Structure 1
Amino acid sequence: MSTLISSSQLHERFQSGERTVLLDVRWVLGRTDGHSEYLAGHLPGAVFVDLPTELADHAQPGRGRHPLPSREHFQEAARKWGINDGDTVVAYDNSGSMAAARVWWMLRNAGVTSVYLLDGGLAAWRANGYPGESGEVTPAVGNVSLGDGNMPAITEQEAARWHSSGVLFDARAGERYRGEVEPVDPRAGHIPGAVSAPTTGNVTGDGTFLPAEELKRRFEELGVDESAHIAVYCGSGVTASHEIAALEIAGYRAALFPGSFSQWSNNAANPVAVGSDPIEEGAESARDHAGASGTSTAAGSSVGS
């Protein structure tokens, strides 16, 4: 299965009349203007996907800030977007696929095999001079039937011991991994044993993914080999999906910890490590409970979800 589709390939599909469901997933941590940006301009026929309400349940300390929704909830949303069984789906955003990867992972997990990320997103489409449109798109309700469990995932308990027999990647920005800042979660730092692998290292300056060979080299330098058991987390399970997509492009299959650090840090029994050493534990760090007083997330920043 391919992970990416280029803007030129997508334009060719448009030109040939091949049915394609386009999902616009403009969301960035700390911002709420995704829908207004969508209304101002998007790909022709693209449907807006509201990440907090359609790709997640309400935040729960025991499940994280963006818990995965039930199959029924997700299927209802997918049908509202106009997806039918057998459709090809392309998801994009304007932040290097950091948000779009969430719906890519969820649809894959639900059994939709023909789903792609638009490499470079809206910026790449516009850079090629392809047409856009504005306003809301409301498609006919689809009939897609979704399943569950088609992508690997791990629990909080498995995350605690994952590093003993595999590689656990932390996809957030380095400063959050090290515990220097924590804008949203109760404690600062990382899961002991996790390796820092910020999602920003997966893309070029224009938001397109690095070539497969470069991604493979990146993950090898971070401790991955052909036999490695890999799992990924971030702040709330959103940008970790981007890391999983990058690993797939590089030829590796990885599991998602859906609750991610937001779930982990809400459990007082879980140790938290600080600093650049994966194992070093400072369980509480000087920025305990920084969720209430930490640095705010700058618009468009890459601190991770």
Structure 2
Amino acid sequence: MTSPLITVPELAAALGSERPPVLLDVRWALGGPPGAEEYAAGHLPGAHYVDLDRELADPPGPAGRHPLPDPERLATALRRAGVRADRPVVAYDAGPALSAARAWWLLRWAGHPDVRVLDGGLAAWRAAGHPLTTGTPAPGEGDFKVDPGHLPTVDARGAAELARTGLLLDARAGERYRGETEPIDPRAGHIPGATSAPTTENLTPDGHFLPAPALAARFTALGLTDPARTAVYCGSGVTAAHQLLALTLAGHDTVALYPGSWSEWSADPQNPVETS
């Protein structure tokens, strides 16, 4: 299996090849600053900005803060960015891939055969001395057709069932899992039976992913025995994709995403909540 990550030297070489990848800048942070402003201030040469809130998700609603995008909404954004079925795609963000992984997961869910994430993101690119540009490329002429459903998902009922009978990983920070704080969603706590597994523990101090053996050991320690009976959630289905990328690196590429995540679960007063 090709790694879902690409290193800075590998990307620099690929960009100089006869078949360079399509670059997607997916910078985003909960509460800002807007990724479009950061993109305008400097980005990898040739990269197209993709708006996570508006293009990689549907509007907030009963299904959570970042519902999976309508397939045509997603296809329009990807074609504008030049995504083609016969060209590799590389997504990046400011550093630890917390938002770039959303693009990676969506493209795989939509059926793209060759998509990777820049390990270390823009921070690693700059640290290696590579240039940025403020020039905006012309709209791409992509032809990618979104075919949803190539990766597994679960709904709220499925997540609750796996929390009881399989393994449900909560990718949020530990203090949100424990209910000590909740900065954005209606209630604090976690889905009963879920296991705390913060995404930050997938990373080295400089924002790169841990080696695959270390990630595999981590998920084994968290209780993973059957990837097909495992799912991940977070606040709104964004950083959970980062956990799924780490799981794929560890050799577990059949783990499901709960797209609505805590933003959907906590908004329904009939859903029980645990704090601990």
1:78 counterpart residue number: 78
The amino acid across from 2:174 in the alignment is G
Aligned counterparts of 1:138 and 1:168: Cα–Cα separation in 2? 43
- Any gaps of 5 or more consecutive residues in structure 2? none
1:267 counterpart residue number: 268
1:166 counterpart residue number: 166
How big is the shift at 1:18? 2.1
Identical aligned residues as a percent = 53
2:192 counterpart residue number: 192
How big is the shift at 1:140? 2.8
1:102 counterpart residue number: 102
How big is the shift at 1:218? 0.7
1:222 counterpart residue number: 222
How big is the shift at 1:226? 5.1
Aligned counterparts of 2:227 and 2:147: Cα–Cα separation in 1? 28
Q: In the alignment, does 2:122 pair up with 1:122?
A: yes
Cα shift readout 1:153-196 (whole Å, capped 9, x = no counterpart): 00111111112221100000000000000010000000001000
Q: Name the SS of the counterpart of 1:189 in structure 2.
A: coil
Cα shift readout 1:11-31 (whole Å, capped 9, x = no counterpart): 111222322100000001111
Q: Which stretch of the first structure deviates more once superposed, 233-242 or 123-132?
A: 123-132
Runs of 4+ in 1 over 3 A off after TM superposition: none
What is the TM-score when the length of structure 1 is the normalising length?
0.87
The amino acid across from 2:173 in the alignment is A
Q: Name the SS of the counterpart of 1:148 in structure 2.
A: coil
> CA contact under 8 A between 1:38 and 1:135: conserved in structure 2?
no
Aligned counterparts of 1:227 and 1:65: Cα–Cα separation in 2? 26
Residues 1-305 of structure 1 mapped to structure 2, 5 A cutoff: 1-60=2-61, 62-225=62-225, 229-252=229-252, 253-275=254-276
> CA contact under 8 A between 1:80 and 1:140: conserved in structure 2?
yes
The amino acid across from 2:264 in the alignment is Q
How big is the shift at 1:35? 1.1
Aligned counterparts of 1:217 and 1:107: Cα–Cα separation in 2? 27
Aligned counterparts of 1:68 and 1:14: Cα–Cα separation in 2? 30
Aligned counterparts of 2:167 and 2:267: Cα–Cα separation in 1? 23
> CA contact under 8 A between 1:40 and 1:135: conserved in structure 2?
no
Aligned counterparts of 2:143 and 2:124: Cα–Cα separation in 1? 31
Cα shift readout 1:30-60 (whole Å, capped 9, x = no counterpart): 1133111111111110111111000111100
Aligned counterparts of 1:63 and 1:206: Cα–Cα separation in 2? 34
- Any gaps of 5 or more consecutive residues in structure 1? 276-305
The amino acid across from 1:260 in the alignment is S
Aligned counterparts of 1:102 and 1:238: Cα–Cα separation in 2? 6
Change (3 A) 1:130 1:167: same
Q: Name the SS of the counterpart of 1:64 in structure 2.
A: coil
Q: Name the SS of the counterpart of 1:27 in structure 2.
A: coil
What is the TM-score when the length of structure 2 is the normalising length?
0.96
Aligned counterparts of 2:95 and 2:166: Cα–Cα separation in 1? 30
Q: What RMSD in Å do the two structures reach over aligned CA positions?
A: 1.2
Aligned counterparts of 1:74 and 1:51: Cα–Cα separation in 2? 10
Q: Name the SS of the counterpart of 2:106 in structure 1.
A: helix
Q: Name the SS of the counterpart of 1:52 in structure 2.
A: coil
Q: Name the SS of the counterpart of 1:54 in structure 2.
A: coil
Q: Name the SS of the counterpart of 2:256 in structure 1.
A: strand
Aligned counterparts of 1:145 and 1:80: Cα–Cα separation in 2? 12
> CA contact under 8 A between 2:227 and 2:255: conserved in structure 1?
no
The amino acid across from 1:14 in the alignment is L
> CA contact under 8 A between 1:167 and 1:228: conserved in structure 2?
no
Aligned counterparts of 2:41 and 2:131: Cα–Cα separation in 1? 13
Change (3 A) 1:255 1:228: closer
The amino acid across from 1:220 in the alignment is T
> CA contact under 8 A between 2:186 and 2:266: conserved in structure 1?
yes
